[in-house]
């Protein structure tokens, strides 16, 4: 019977059906970071348990890492305790840790693919919401809570209910100045932040097929923001080309055998889906959020919606958003003044993201009143970007060029908004207070749009700044 990728990967990793009716699912790869793991390791110690599969467990440090100057002990006691804990836990439980001395350190969802740990047909778990990123490779990847981190450490398994699968076909081709970030924001705008609850999203169609792996990661990264537990793209030659010669992928003939297996995990023609929706990719505009959820988005040429434009059940949240964001219903979103510009995060802190942003700022200057940060997602990304001179382009334009980490996405390190500052951000969440100030405001957009906002000092359509600079 024709199956979709989710069904195949789920079945291949099913250990048994539990008396509760849930599936005991084997987890192929467990990624760990410093924020959600200390209590889980302590629970192991309390029960005198070991890590079941240390070889399937990889740890890194990302959330609390300062991106300007890294010297130990950190000024922030809490951050120092977290990093000391993961160092000790990695030592005691014999887990590889990409620590601050390691050239491979970076955001957990950047380093997994970069090292080739993330592969098609896998089940992947991490104590972090944006684990859905790894689905770009045709894996089933989801975020888990701390007690589930403990379960995976102790057993390499999770007790889970299977998901329904919605196929989202993005047809046609994206216009100039429209990126993967716009696709994922558009999907969430249409289907809502709860539209994916109970689902995995299979992203397909000509736009996804022609998208590079970094774009696919951006799209899958935000599946969780649309309520989907996981998002994935069927593996293809683009996937395999990315994975070839990565540190943890098979090599030689073993790689060719792996490709055969990876291809077999893809959705069959005629596979069943619980739901299918189609989006015309050529109609997607550069998109920005105007509110306090990733679903409150508009095209840059549109206006902030009027309450009467919205369904009844969205009006209360919209009223809250207008007040918090200090935006007028019905006003144009373009022209909104920006205080901070942030290019980075596990959504958009990869090489191609930095390249697109640099393309816009090259030969231009950041507006006088804007603080602008370019933060690579990993040390490898930083090295690759520097090898082609992107750091110089950013610096000459007035951006701060930083070290690798989560930085201002969640502001668990010193990179925080101040007061009511409004940040044009390439990250993934615009919740109240997300970027370190309880009253700070976040507007989500593509890295190129962030770069354009940094230069203009206000939200602006990046297409007006392309002038032949598009890739
Ligand atoms: S970059 Fe942001 S969303 Fe991604 S792992 Fe770090 S804090 Fe989480």
Distance 354 CA to ligand 1 centre (A): 17
What does the alpha-carbon distance between residue 16 and residue 346 come to, in Å, rounded to a whole number?
33
Say if ligand 1 is within 6 A of residue 393 CB.
no
Say if ligand 1 is within 6 A of residue 346 CB.
yes
Mutation test of ligand 1: which of 427, 429, 436, 442 has the most ligand atoms closer than 8 Å to its C-beta?
Answer: 427
Say if ligand 1 is within 6 A of residue 63 CB.
yes
With H, G, I as helix, E, B as strand and everything else as coil, classify residue 103. Answer: coil
What does the alpha-carbon distance between residue 294 and residue 304 come to, in Å, rounded to a whole number?
14
Contact 339, 370 (CB under 8 A): yes
| Closest C-alpha to 394, from 412, 375, 409, 408 | 375
**CB within 8 Å of 266: residues ≥ 6 apart:** 5, 120, 138, 234, 235, 236
- pLDDT at residue number 71: 85
Token pair for residue 429?
């969440």
- pLDDT at residue number 140: 98
| Closest C-alpha to 407, from 312, 311, 341 | 341
Nearest atom in ligand 1 to the alpha carbon of residue 427 is 2
Say if ligand 1 is within 6 A of residue 35 CB.
no
| Closest C-alpha to 225, from 319, 131, 154 | 131
Indicate the pTM of the whole model: 0.97
- pLDDT at residue number 470: 75
- pLDDT at residue number 11: 98
- Give the residues of the chain that fall short of pLDDT 70: none
Say if ligand 1 is within 6 A of residue 339 CB.
no
pLDDT tens digits, one per residue of 138-163: 999 999 999 999 999 999 999 999 99
Mutation test of ligand 1: which of 61, 65, 128 has the most ligand atoms closer than 8 Å to its C-beta?
Answer: 128
Mutation test of ligand 1: which of 130, 143, 435 has the most ligand atoms closer than 8 Å to its C-beta?
Answer: 130
- pLDDT at residue number 467: 81
Q: What Rg, from alpha-carbon coordinates, does the chain have? A: 21
Distance 179 CA to ligand 1 centre (A): 20
- pLDDT at residue number 69: 81
- pLDDT at residue number 441: 98
pLDDT tens digits, one per residue of 231-260: 999 999 999 999 999 999 999 999 999 999
């Amino acid at each position: 019977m024709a199956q979709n990728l989710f069904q195949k990967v789920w079945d291949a990793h099913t250990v048994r059906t539990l008396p509760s009716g849930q599936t005991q699912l084997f987890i192929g790869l467990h990624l760990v970071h410093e924020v959600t793991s200390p209590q889980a390791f302590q629970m192991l110690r309390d029960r005198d348990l070991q890590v079941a599969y240390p070889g399937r467990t990889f740890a890194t440090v990302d959330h609390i890492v300062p991106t300007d100057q890294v010297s130990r002990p950190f000024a922030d006691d809490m951050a120092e305790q977290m990093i000391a804990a993961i160092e000790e836990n990695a030592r005691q439980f014999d887990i590889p840790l990409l620590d601050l001395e390691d050239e491979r350190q970076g955001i957990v969802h950047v380093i997994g693919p970069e090292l080739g740990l993330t592969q098609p047909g896998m089940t992947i778990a991490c104590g972090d919401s944006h684990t859905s990123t790894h689905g770009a490779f045709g894996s089933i990847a989801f975020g888990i809570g701390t007690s589930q981190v403990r379960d995976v450490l102790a057993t390499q398994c999770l007790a889970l209910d299977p998901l329904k699968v919605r196929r989202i076909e993005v047809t046609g081709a994206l216009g100039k100045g429209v990126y993967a970030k716009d696709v994922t924001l558009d999907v969430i705008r249409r289907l809502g932040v709860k539209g994916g609850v109970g689902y995995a999203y299979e992203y397909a169609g000509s736009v996804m097929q022609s998208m590079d792996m970094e774009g696919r990661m951006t799209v899958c990264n935000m599946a969780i923001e649309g309520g989907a537990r996981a998002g994935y793209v069927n593996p293809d030659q683009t996937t395999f080309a990315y994975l070839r010669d990565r540190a943890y992928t098979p090599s030689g003939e073993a790689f060719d055998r792996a490709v055969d297996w990876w291809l077999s995990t893809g959705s069959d023609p005629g596979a069943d889906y619980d739901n299918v929706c189609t989006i015309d990719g050529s109609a997607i505009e550069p998109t920005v959020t105007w509110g306090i959820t990733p679903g409150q988005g508009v095209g840059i040429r549109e206006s902030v919606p009027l309450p009467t434009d919205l369904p009844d059940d969205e009006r209360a949240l919209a009223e809250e958003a207008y007040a918090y964001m200090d935006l007028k219903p019905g006003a144009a979103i373009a022209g909104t003044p920006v205080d901070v510009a942030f290019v980075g995060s596990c959504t958009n802190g990869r090489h191609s993201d930095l390249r697109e942003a640099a393309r816009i700022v090259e030969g231009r200057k950041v507006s006088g009143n804007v603080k602008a940060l370019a933060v690579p997602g990993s040390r490898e990304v930083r090295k690759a970007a520097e090898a082609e001179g992107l750091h110089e382009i950013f610096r000459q334009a007035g951006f701060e060029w930083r070290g690798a980490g989560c930085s201002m996405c969640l502001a668990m390190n010193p990179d925080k908004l101040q007061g009511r500052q409004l940040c044009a951000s390439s990250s993934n969440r615009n919740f109240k207070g997300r970027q370190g100030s309880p009253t700070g405001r976040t507007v989500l957009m593509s890295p190129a749009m962030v770069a354009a906002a940094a230069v203009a000092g206000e939200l602006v359509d990046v297409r007006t700044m392309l002038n032949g600079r598009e890739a």
